[in-house]
């Protein structure tokens, strides 16, 4: 596999350092006993959702499976039902035994994030949603969370690596910290416009020092046609961002001659809050969603061995033999 593949497994994953240790002990025991059957393993989710993580699983399996192995999978981004088989591996068991933990984790986290993102996108009804949740997860997980959010329908995400995984460009302009360093929103906006590449959106935060509507007009007067959008991220201590606040900012911008300036909102956005803005016909042009996506509950996946050397098997309570699913496509 090319080292340029952004989904290529890390040395820690390949060496088994991220697996449950009992798989390493299984590898040790079976190897010493000279036992390495051709085994079929099937993977299924605990509940319905939007499948994500399969590209990472695919990259791992292509790295570790020997010639002649077979893998069938449900495609990335497909809707799946509870207990539906989404992955089937047929290969010598020791070639993939220590990777069960990694495979399940890739699918569990990715699917949870993608499903939550899809809920936000559905609520937004065509208004772009951007993933802003990187600060809520470990940095090693953040790019995969952002990638999953785009699989779930987000138009972009905040981390460069997440955007690279998703084949898009990262989104985001300035934090409150930058504006505070300048001591004035207009000065920060002018500096941003002066020094940042022209292809980056001129979107300015307008809730740092002054009333959002007043600050929006000040920035619009300073940047003129260069200003593309303002972002409202009013803290909960001041009531947060509301449909009424959006209407007030929109009215001021329009009345001052800046109808081209869009309004982007963020801060505690959830599907319910997004629906509130939509139902109140607040003229929002984009939503930034953080913890609702990043904090999504993983969709637990289970892996079962279903055949050993061509003979149907299963643990008690499960049906022996492979499970038919015509939606699976062979990927290896």
Query: Which residues have a Cβ under 8 Å from the Cβ of 46 and sit 6 or more positions away?
Result: 82, 83, 299, 300, 301, 302
pLDDT at 122 over 60: yes
Mean predicted confidence (pLDDT) in 154-181: 97
Least confident stretch, 3-12, 17-26, 82-91, 276-285: 3-12
What integer pLDDT is reported at residue 3 of this predicted model? 58
Query: How does residue 4 score in pLDDT terms, banded at 50, 70 and 90?
Result: confident
Q: What CATH number matches the domain at 11-111+298-330, 3.40.50.970, 3.20.20.80, 3.10.129.10, 3.20.140.10?
A: 3.20.140.10
- Residue-wise pLDDT for 299-322, tens only, equals 999 999 999 999 999 999 999 999
Distance between CA atoms of 73 and 52, rounded to whole angstroms?
Answer: 11
The per-residue pLDDT of the chain, averaged, comes to 97
Distance between CA atoms of 205 and 219, rounded to whole angstroms?
Answer: 10
Q: According to the 3-state scheme, what is the secondary structure of the chain?
A: CCCCCCCCCCHHHHCCCCCCHHHHHHHHHHHHHCCCCEEEEEEEECCCEECCCHHHHHHHHHHHCCCCCEEEECCCCCEECCCCCCEEEEEEHHHHHHHHHHHHHHHHHHHHHHHHHHHHHHHHCCCCEEECCHHHCCCCCHHHHHHHHHHCCCCEECCHHHHHHHCCCCCCCCCHHHHHHHCCHHHHHHHHHHHCCCCCCCEEECCCCCCHHHHHHHHHHHHHHHCCEEEECCCHHHCCCCHHHHHHHHHHHHHCCCCCCEEEEECCCCHHHHHHHHHCCCCCCEEEECHHHHCCCCCCEEEEEEEECCEECCCCCCCCCCCCCCCCEECC
- Residue-wise pLDDT for 205-260, tens only, equals 999 999 999 999 999 999 999 999 999 999 999 999 999 999 999 999 999 999 99
Distance between CA atoms of 40 and 54, rounded to whole angstroms?
Answer: 18
Mean predicted confidence (pLDDT) in 137-144: 97
What integer pLDDT is reported at residue 50 of this predicted model? 98
pLDDT at 111 over 60: yes
Residues of the chain with CATH 3.20.20.70: 114-294
Residues of the chain with CATH 3.20.140.10: 11-111+298-330
Closest CA to 310 of 318, 321, 325: 321
Q: What percent of the chain has pLDDT over 70?
A: 99
Give CA separation, 229 vs 65, 91, 216, 326, in Å: 49, 53, 9, 47
Query: How does residue 1 score in pLDDT terms, banded at 50, 70 and 90?
Result: very low
**The tokens of 182 are what?**
């300048």
pLDDT at 5 over 90: no
Burial group, residue 263, by CB count within 10 angstroms (0-12, 13-18, 19+): buried
CATH 3.20.20.70 fits 114-294, yes or no: yes
Reported pTM: 0.95
pLDDT at 2 over 60: no
Closest CA to 268 of 260, 259, 276, 256: 276
Q: What's the full length of the chain, in residues? A: 332
Mean predicted confidence (pLDDT) in 16-32: 98
pLDDT at 153 over 90: yes
The C-alpha angle 254, 257, 260, rounded to 5 degrees, equals 70
- Residue-wise pLDDT for 194-205, tens only, equals 999 999 999 999
């Amino acid at each position: 596999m090319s080292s340029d593949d952004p989904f290529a497994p890390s040395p820690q994953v390949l060496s088994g350092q991220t697996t449950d240790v009992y798989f390493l002990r299984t590898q040790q025991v079976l190897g010493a006993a000279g036992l390495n059957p051709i085994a079929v393993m099937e993977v299924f989710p605990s509940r319905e959702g939007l499948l994500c993580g399969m590209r990472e699983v695919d990259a791992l399996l292509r790295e570790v499976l020997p010639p002649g192995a077979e893998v069938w999978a449900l495609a990335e981004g497909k809707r799946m039902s509870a207990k539906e088989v989404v992955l089937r591996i047929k290969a010598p068991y020791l070639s993939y035994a220590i990777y069960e933990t990694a495979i399940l984790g890739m699918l569990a986290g990715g699917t949870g994030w993608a499903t939550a993102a899809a809920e936000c996108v559905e609520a937004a009804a065509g208004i772009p949603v951007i993933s802003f949740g990187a600060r809520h997860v470990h940095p090693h997980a953040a790019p995969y969370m952002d990638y999953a959010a785009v699989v779930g329908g987000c138009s972009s995400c905040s981390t460069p690596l997440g955007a690279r995984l998703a084949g898009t460009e990262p989104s985001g302009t300035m934090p409150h910290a930058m504006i505070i360093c300048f001591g004035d929103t207009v000065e920060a906006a002018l500096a941003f416009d002066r020094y940042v590449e022209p292809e980056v959106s001129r979107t300015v935060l307008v809730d740092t020092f002054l009333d959002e509507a007043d600050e929006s007009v000040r920035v619009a007067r300073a940047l003129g046609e260069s200003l593309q959008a303002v972002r409202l991220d009013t803290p909960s201590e001041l009531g947060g961002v509301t449909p009424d606040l959006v209407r007030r900012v929109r009215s001021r911008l329009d009345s001052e001659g800046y109808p081209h300036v869009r309004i982007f909102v963020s801060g505690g956005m959830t599907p319910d809050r997004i629906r509130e803005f939509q139902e109140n016909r607040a003229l929002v042009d984009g939503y930034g969603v953080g913890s609702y996506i990043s904090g999504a509950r993983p969709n637990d996946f289970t892996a079962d061995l279903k055949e050993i050397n061509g003979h149907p098997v299963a643990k008690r309570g499960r049906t022996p033999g492979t499970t038919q699913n015509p939606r699976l496509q062979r990927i290896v």
